[in-house]
Amino acid sequence: MEFPWHLYLLAMTGAGLFTLATLPLWRIWCGRTGHVDAPGHRKIHQEPIPLAGGLAVITGMIVPVFAGLLVIQWQLLDSETAARLMHGLGRRGGQLGVVLAGAIGMVVLGWMDDRWELKPSVKLGGQLLVAAAVAVAGVRITLFVPSLLFSYAVTVLWILTVINAFNFMDNMNGLCAGLGAIGAFFCGLAAAIHGQYLVALVAMLTLGALLGFLPYNYPRASAFLGDAGSHLVGYLLAVLAILPHFHSAQHPHPWAVLSPLLILGVPLFDLAWVVILRWRLGQPFYVGDNNHLSHRLVRRGWSRAGAVALIWLLAAMSGGVSLVLQFGGR
């Protein structure tokens, strides 16, 4: 029995609607508590913008999760689908619980950074703790190397890299959230085709929540993701790139391990570019500047909305290549 595709659509739609519905409430809360991004250096907005995006996105993901658990508990699904879900949760429920707890942890860490501007070492330490917890839970990269220590190290490094890649890409309206939605779509599609339905459901929740946020952020912004949101997006995409089995004994595609790199190729390339440039200029890699791909496109005459749309297109094309790499030989 194939997993019902309409449940993926339901997860995506539910997450999107809950994000859409709760974001105005989070905007009010952020305005009342002063949790806003004030105008200043390297910023183009002229008035404070609520940093409500990350809070709304995590809400849009959590509410459908609990709603889904109630649906299972109340036996509202057909018996075969319910049995598959219970079987999957029995095998990977602990891992998914840690992944969800890590998502909440990333939002809290980013919220604290938005609020008090944490020292880079403190922020990195928080990211490291969450990444290590995910690795300990068994969500790890192996790269076919039979070494547990190597697996832990490369997993933590991967999660930290992707988190900061998306954090760096949060520099224009819609850019980070759009890239996250594109990445979630391709990770979810790959997982669904492979029959990894729990992974696909997590990806669809991520996709829906980010799509629910985008109308408030692109092309004009009435809310920002903030560090809470960019940390969350980067973390979720890092984990979603690990969870699917792009290569296995049942689906032997050794070259398909490149798929996560292609799905996340644009933010990873941008991260590598600006880090190398800042290093050559003798600047700390964590200090922001206007040398990202989006900024360079604007300096070449693109509008900000147009530059973001072009980068989305590049990410979608790269994700398409990843699908060809995985399934083109079938």
pLDDT in tens, 130-147: 999 999 999 998 877 888
What is the pLDDT confidence band of residue 45, given thresholds at 50, 70 and 90? low
Quick: pLDDT tens for 18-30.
999 999 999 999 9
Upstream peptide bond of 219 is cis (omega within 30 degrees of 0): yes
- The answer to whether residues 54 and 226 touch, using CB atoms and an 8 Å cutoff, is yes
Q: What integer pLDDT is reported at residue 323 of this predicted model?
A: 85
Q: Which residue has the higher pLDDT, 5 or 287?
A: 5
The answer to whether residue 16 sits within a structural domain is yes
Residue 33: CB atoms within 10 A of its CB come to 10
For residue 142, report the phi and psi dihedrals to the nearest 5 degrees. Answer: -115, -35
Examine the pLDDT at 54 and tell me if it is beyond 60: yes
Angstrom distance (rounded) from CA 212 to CA 181: 10
Please report whether residue 280 resides in a domain. Answer: no
216 part of a folded domain? yes
Domain containing 48: what range? 5-252
* Separation of alpha carbons 137 and 293, rounded Å: 35
pLDDT, tens digit, for every residue of 235-286? 999 999 988 665 555 555 666 678 889 999 999 999 999 999 999 888 887 7
pLDDT at 36 over 70: yes
Identify whether 261 is part of a domain. Answer: no
Task: Say if 286 falls within a structural domain.
Answer: no
pLDDT in tens, 302-311: 999 999 999 9
Residue 299, in any domain of the structure: no
In a domain, 80, yes or no: yes
Which pLDDT score is estimated for 330? Answer: 52
What pTM does this model have?
0.94
**Res. 185 pLDDT band, cuts 50 70 90:** very high
- Give the separation between CA 53 and CA 98, rounded to whole angstroms: 22
Does a structural domain hold residue 68?
A: yes
pLDDT value at 49 more than 90: yes
Record the tokens describing residue 84, joined without a space: 């598959």
Task: Give pLDDT, residue 251.
Answer: 56
pLDDT band at 194 (very low <50, low <70, confident <90, very high): confident
Residue-wise pLDDT for 144-182, tens only, equals 788 899 999 999 999 999 999 999 999 999 999 999 999
As for how many domains the chain has, the answer is 1
